[in-house]
Amino acid sequence: GNSRSLEIYTVNHHKRDENDNAELRLDATMDLREGTIEYVLDNEDYDQANWFSAHIPEEEDGCYLPTPDGKVACCESLDKVCWWHMNDGKVLGVHENQIVEYDEKTLSPLGIVVTKKELKNREVLVVDNSKALVLIDPMTEDMEVVHPNEDGSYWRKYQ
């Protein structure tokens, strides 16, 4: 920026140029004198059809599982929203065919625990007094236990 304007960029570490520099994308320009912001929306990343739309769970929304025990979602119901508390207080839920972790106090989404691709055609079970999250493929009977990260969170940290 300068004394007249400030440009706001996003750094995409997954896209690199020929010199291995991360891609920069101009997102907005702030006019410091006028106090206005001009957004740049002509990038392919702004295709909102591909964006994750977050659902903030509410007790009244009819999908809260107060005592999850056994199957909480199956292949046919993964597009429905449901959420629950694990034994350790963490809040998990199925939303848009994936498992999401939510903040315990604000219920804001923290991150993806199991992606759509990983969850496809699997059943979701909460077992052992809500201490374990288990994914089962009903066709092959393959089973995966989803363990929390070292810090106690469940969402996956890819970077």
pTM above 0.85, yes or no: no
Residue 10, pLDDT > 90, answer: no
Kindly write down the DSSP assignment for every residue of 2-14, as one continuous string.
-SSEEEEEEEEEE
* pLDDT score, position 92: 92
Helix or strand or coil: residue 118? Answer: helix
Mean pLDDT over 149-154 rounds to 91
What percentage of the chain exceeds 70 in pLDDT? 81
Task: State how beta strands 64-65 and 22-31 pair.
Answer: unpaired
* Spatial distance between the Cα atoms of 75 and 84, rounded to a whole number of angstroms: 18
Spatial contact of 111 and 127, defined as CB atoms under 8 Å apart: no
- Give the tens place of pLDDT for each residue, 93-141: 888 788 999 988 888 888 899 998 998 889 898 888 889 899 999 899 9
* Spatial distance between the Cα atoms of 105 and 101, rounded to a whole number of angstroms: 12
- Give the tens place of pLDDT for each residue, 49-92: 655 556 667 666 667 777 777 777 665 555 566 888 898 999 99
